[in-house]
Structures are given as C-alpha cells and as structure tokens.
Amino acid sequence: MLNWDAAWNVRPYGESQLSVSYRQPGVVLTDRRFTVPLDHDDPAGETIELFAREAVASDKAGAELPWLVYLQGGPGFGANRFIGRPAWLGRALEEFRVLLLDQRGTGASTPANRQTLPLRGGPAEQADYLTHFRADSIVRDCEAIRPQLTGGAPWTVLGQSFGGFCATHYLSAAPEGLSAALITGGLPSLDAHADDVYRAAYPRIERKVAAHYARYPQDVERARRIAEHLLRHETVLPNGYRLTVEAFQSLGIVLGGGEGSHRLHYLLEDAFVRTPSGPALSDAFQEEVQTALSYAGHPLYALVHEAIYGQDERPTAWSAERVRAEFPQFDAAKTLAGDGPLLFTGESVHPWTFDCDPALRPLRETADLLAARTDWTPLYDKERLAANEVPVAAAVYHDDMYVDADHSLATARAIRGLRTWVTDEFEHDGVRAGGPRVLDRLLALSRDEV
C-alpha cells in the first residue's frame, strides 16, 4: 500500500528530483521538481516543492543554449500548459532553453488552497504562511534553482503581468542573476499603495465597459435584465457559487483581454430560458459563469492579490472594496433604479468574493488577516533600479485594464536603461495574442537592435 505521507515528502533543499523527458510536435519537454525553503531566511527550516517544465526545440535538444525563465501572470496561476510551440514560445525556442515555472503555491508546485492550508493550523497560521508567496520569495526561488540549471550563468526572465512585478523585484534584489529582463504588461508602480492602484483602475474599467457597449449596444439591456433577476432571486450555481449581482459584475475581468468583449457578448446573449415557472437563467449560462468566476483552480489569486501591493506599514484593508465606494456609478442597485447601463468590474477581489465562492469560503478569515497586516516589506529598491545595468525592455499596453500605463511609464523612467514599447495594438494578453511578435520586439529592444 502506498504511504501517502512518504509520497509527499520532498528532498533536502537544493536537490533536484528525478526529471522526466518526452516529446510534443517540435519540442522536447522535461518535467523538473526542486525543493526550496518556505522561508529563504531560514534555509534549514521547512521546505516546499517547485515544479517547472523545461522546453527546448527538438532540433536543438542537445545544444548548449542560454536559458529563459518564464514567470506567469497572476498571482496564483501556474505556467502555461502549451502544446507544441504556440504564441511566444516558438520564438523563444529559436535561441533559448525555456523554463516554464509554476510559482510557489501554483500548478504542480506544493499547493496552497482550502484543502491544504488547514495543514498549517488556523487562519492566523495560514496567513503567516501566505506572506511567503509574494514576488520576493518567487525571485529567491528562481535564484535557488538557477545554478542547478545554468551552472551559475545568468538567464533571461520573461515576466507577464504579475510576472513582470516579479521581474522588477528581480532587478532590485538579484540583478546578477539576469542577462536580460523582458516585461509585458507588468511594470508595477514602485511605491503606490493598493488604494492608489484601484483609484486608477476603476476609471479604466469604466472605459472598457463603455467600449464594450459601443461595440455591442444590445448588451446594455441584457446585462440590466440579468442584474435585475439576481437582485430579485437568490441564485446558487451548480457548484455552490452564490451569484450575487456584484459577482455578476465581476465578469468584466474578461474585458482586459483582446477577445474579452466578444466573449462577454456571447455569454450574455443566451442567458435566459423559458420554464414552467417563468424565465430562468439557463443551465448553459450558469455553467459558463461558474467556470469564469470560480477560484478553485487559482485560490492564491484571491488570497494574495492585494498583498502584492503591500510595501509598508499600511494595511491593504480590502482596498478594492473601499475604493469602489468612491465610484458610485458601479453600484448596481442605484444603476437599476434609473435607466443607465450596468457597469462591470474586474481585476479586483472583495470580501464578498470569499462569501460567494465555495472554494474560498473556508479561507475568509485568513484573507481578513492578510488584509489587516501592517508588516509588509518593500519590494523595489529605487536606488538599485536607478543604477541598473541589466538590459531591460517592457511592453506597455496603452490602456491596459489590469496595470495602469501611467504607473508603468513612471517606473520605466526610474529604471536605468529600460526601453519601452508603448502600443495600443494589444490588450493585456498581447504576449499570447500577438504570437511571436511581442517577444521578438522585446528581444530586439533589449539588444539595441531597433
């Protein structure tokens, strides 16, 4: 019989576990596992496991190649599960050996969710544990595994969204580990509090919603009808998710992607079905909504989303919820009392998020404790960034719904030698939607080839 306790044990810190290689079209993949300290300031203490997938072009599998490590957006998402060489990966494989890292707590790395966090103890112990899941710990993970893969040579980092926040911290904390830093949709403010982030965010979100309704004017009435139904009827989706009107509004998170407006339109167009009891939200609509809103696959996004902005003694204190009150146009009940369009929201986590989602409900007190913390350490070293010598290039999307362009450009000016590509050709997901073009442009900028 399998001993599960033994099966979950990991090797001593620094020792890479058995790797497995296999092929997909045009690429050789190798699954790798590493053991790192939970707290890098206590290397002899508790350890966790990291999973990463190495990718190399089939015709270069035996070649000596420089490494590129990819840091996924989030927080809380594992690295892309590519099939073959799509999007930016094909361009990267022309010259790099790529490491797709599942950041701590995500993907196939040691998980942090409602099932595993109770192993830590109560909410206070869980919150203490989760303080080790920010950009600073992720960068120290990278530095712990880099010598095992590169023999000590620096590597290139490609950071998408929150991965760009991590790359910016990398430049602050361990620039000697980098040969170049490429950032797409992820240059953070170096000193903004979460309140500043959301005060800048809500007007951008409102613009995205206005653009959606301009494209699909029929969705104004559809969204209002759904919201009115939710205000009158308690709605629980098949997975146990409580679909309140505020939760419905949060579907606007998709508007930050290149195809998001079209996806939202198709979701809204067939929301209702006739039943013997009258109109009801269709099973198909409910299935799509619960898939879009559930945090079961990425609970860390909700748990530490505001903590990624914590850098001083001020608590984040459910910033998105507090700041939302400054923008009454997002109040659905007030909107429905008149005849205006319902505003969607996005890229924000609220206390009610934990009440609605069954994957998060057991973690509500843990989230409250994280929101109340006042001991966050700074993530960015302005003096070191001002003296930066690492080649850096960043794509800044002109009206990015998730990351404020003005904040990003201010940071770009603060990092010595950073070159920007400001574009409105793509939304926040440009590195995926743009195929090889975005990575190709960033590489050229970092090498002074354009």
Distances (CA, A) of 397 to 306, 355, 387: 22, 33, 25
pLDDT of 187 above 80: yes
Residue 297 φ then ψ, to 5°: -85, -10
Same domain membership, residue 123 and residue 211: no
305 noted as active-site residue? no
By residue range, what is the domain housing residue 350? Answer: 194-372
Do 165 and 209 belong to one domain? no
Does position 315 have pLDDT exceeding 50, yes or no? yes
258 close to 430: Cβ distance less than 8 angstroms: yes
Are residues 101 and 221 located together in one domain of the fold? no
Shared domain for 129 and 245, answered yes or no, is no
Q: For residue 1, which amino acid is it?
A: M
Q: Is 428 a catalytic residue?
A: yes
On whether the CB atoms of residues 408 and 394 are closer than 8 A, the answer is yes
274 SS3 class? strand
Q: What is the pLDDT of residue 221?
A: 98
Is 356 found in the same domain as 209?
yes
Note the pLDDT tens digit of each residue in 422-445: 999 999 999 999 989 999 999 999
Across residues 233-241, what is the average pLDDT?
A: 97
- The reported pLDDT for the residue numbered 5 is 38
Strand order in the sheet with 27-37: 20-24, 27-37, 47-57, 97-102, 67-71, 155-160, 178-184, 392-397, 419-423
Give the model confidence (pLDDT) of 320-348 as tens digits.
999 999 999 999 999 999 999 999 998 89
Give yes or no: residues 238 and 331 share one domain: yes
* 30 and 111 housed in the same domain: yes
Q: Using the 3D structure, point to which of 372, 397, 426 is the last residue of a domain.
A: 372
Domain end: 354, 372, 390, which one?
372
**Mean pLDDT rounded to a whole number for the chain:** 95
Query: CB 398: neighbour CB atoms within 10 A?
Result: 11
Please classify residue 38 by burial: count the beta carbons closer than 10 Å to its beta carbon, then call 0-12 exposed, 13-18 middle and 19+ buried: middle
| Confidence grade of residue 13 (pLDDT, cut at 50, 70, 90) | very low
Asked if 187 and 198 sit in the same domain, the reply is: no
Q: How many angstroms separate the CA atoms of 82 and 148, rounded?
A: 24
Number of domains in the chain: 2
For residues 294 and 403, state if they share a domain.
Answer: no
Instruction: Kindly report, residue by residue over 242-291, the tens digit of the pLDDT.
Output: 999 999 999 999 999 999 999 999 999 999 999 999 999 999 999 999 99
161 as an active site residue: the answer is: yes
Exposure b/e, 107-123, CB count within 10 A at least 16 = b: bbbbbbbbeebeebeeb
Q: Work out the average pLDDT over 114-141.
A: 98
Same domain, 116 and 165: yes
- Shared domain for 175 and 255, answered yes or no, is no
Query: Which pair of tokens denotes residue 432?
Result: 């995926």
Catalytic residue of the set 109, 137, 161, 348: 161
Ranges assigned E (strand) in 90-171: 97-102, 155-160
Q: Looking at the structure, do residues 356 and 410 belong to the same domain, yes or no?
A: no
The residue annotated as part of the active site, out of 195, 404, 428, 429, is 428
- Percentage of the chain modeled with pLDDT above 90: 94
CA distances in angstroms from 354 to 63, 127, 413, listed in the order given? 48, 15, 38
144 near 14, Cβ under 8 Å?
yes
Provide the pLDDT for residue 347.
87
Q: Which H or E run includes 276?
A: none
CATH number for the domain spanning 415: value is 3.40.50.1820
* Of the residues 372, 404, 435, the one at which a domain ends: 372
pLDDT the model gives residue 18: 64
